[in-house]
Structure 1
Amino acid sequence: MKNENKSNIGAASRLAVAPMMDWTDSACRVFHRVLSRRALLYSEMVTSAALVRGGAVHLLRHDPSEHPVALQLGGSDPAELAQAARMGAEAGFDEINLNVGCPSDRVQSGCFGAVLMTRPELVADCVAAMRGAVSVPVTVKCRIGVDDQDPEAVLPDFLSRMRAAGASHVIVHARKAWLQGLSPKANREVPPLDHDLVRRMRLEFPDLAISINGGVESLDAVAGFLADGFDGVMVGRAAYHRPFDILGAADARLYGEDRVITPEAAARAMLPYIERHLAEGGRLHQVTRHMLGLFAGRPGARRWRQLLSEGATRPGAGPELVERALAQVAPADPAAEVRRA
């Protein structure tokens, strides 16, 4: 699955798959890259402390086919983040992103993630240090504010500081984060979306690339935000749970390429990677767990999920299980798949 797609990162970011803990690991990114050659993919968040103090360089491993791929870092110490960014760039990542959006208690206790929205000057110092350490783009993913902050005042000030510090791109999750009283899951759903505020920021900061994130559920919605003038759109859970719907026609629709892959072809394209993964001592479910939503909405999708969920964890499970699961899915007209995507 060779891929030389280390293309312009700005063009790739027209569509990005969000960093998601326990989900967007290397196997997931390889699968998403099969569906789209052009979308920008992100690692799970990796803490700067794990890399710099913990020596966890295995967290930087990725398959060559994943490019263009970004590393998301969590941390709040400028010098440590600079060193971690350097490690990520040396490992081959095409972009280094700073997490200023995660609201979990564990992340807050480490003084990074969304809690840093209350310390924009520190975030600016971190970005400047990272920018000085690497030649690849340094970007930021943030919220519109936290707790009782007024986003109308907080967000423009934050973006101004990021621009001055050298961030090339800011991805804005168009919700507040509530640091007390809401779980991370609730923080993705309960605080109301304010896409209009982020639209106004796009006009107020024409010299800063801005992507929008939050509540994006379809490729139509992605195209709509791009038509509004956004530099990019980041999609999270919809891209994971319904990967073909978001990524399957993205190259043709968003990047002008004459390419649309079918779900069946995507599943079979993963077989060589699965064989290598197994040969290196991995387990089938470590790959196929990311593929369960491939046929969402198709007759037979439930049986596809069931066979992979139940069978992939068993000793000796291999590529033949994927073929057996594929046989349970009803054939589809490729034109209908394109319309669904």
Structure 2
Amino acid sequence: MLNRRRFLTLSSLSGLFPSLAFQPGSVAPAPLVISTWKQPKANAAAQAVLDRGGRALEAVEAGVRIPEADPNDTSVGYGGLPDRDGRVTLDACIMDEKGNAGSVTYLEKIMHPISVARAVMEKSPHVMLSGEGALAFALAQGFKKENLLTKSSEAAWREWLKTAKYKPIINIERHDTIGMLAMDSKGDLSGACTTSGLAYKMNGRVGDSPIIGAGLFVDNEIGGACATGLGELVMRTCGSFLVVELMRQGRSPQQACEEAALRIVKKQDYKEVQVGFLATNRQGEVGAYSIQPGFSYTVSRGGKTEVLEAKSFLGK
């Protein structure tokens, strides 16, 4: 706990250096938007919702819809690189301040899987729908089929077929995810995560992104966390749930992200893989940490947006 002198010192420093408010471990009032990787446009869309008094849930949905519809983003939604059979399959999940959650996996031909995930949460008795069932549900809710394989992504896939060598490239394909957390003016938290999965994955592969507790977890009493990177490693440790539970035990978001990453390092051959965690607590502190250097994240609050690089295990 901060004593009065230290609190006054930090307060005076933040006045001299406003960007300090964005560093892991800092404190600032709501509203707040944070997202994995360099996502100023996504954050801006989310922030616009918060600025007009909208819920954090509405903000994260609006935010991640931006990369979902971006044909130049090859790891999320439209334009995403396909699996090894040439199929663009999408995963997404969303979670609100009440602990409600919705998810879709292996969804094809729908531009915005995050909005389908929200519909699963609000208009079905289930948490997760997959494959043909998810598509049928989406169509019944009024979503339209679209071809998500762009010419450039198809060309890249056909070039890959010449060797069919599968090896995720650290920090190049951005490891299949945008995760976003938001806090609204009431102090309520929500989160969203959406992806087209690892490029040239096996047909049917589902990673951590649509799994509550792995790619995303929110507890409105404590905070929220999301993950990016090689999803198999995140699933094996229930990564985002772990981060939130560590915060419940008293760790700061930064400490919690670091411990979650170190648990992976202790059990896995980590030298050629990337996993990153991003978190916030109810006090507005932000934490971020990854195995490899190069994991960036975007923070928006107080009318300012910054893209920062997380500390990392191999970047010491």
| TM-score, normalised relative to structure 1 | 0.28
Greater RCO (CA < 8 Å, at least 6 residues apart): 2
The structure in which a higher percent of residues are helix is 1
The structure with the larger Rg is 1
The structure in which a higher percent of residues are strand is 2
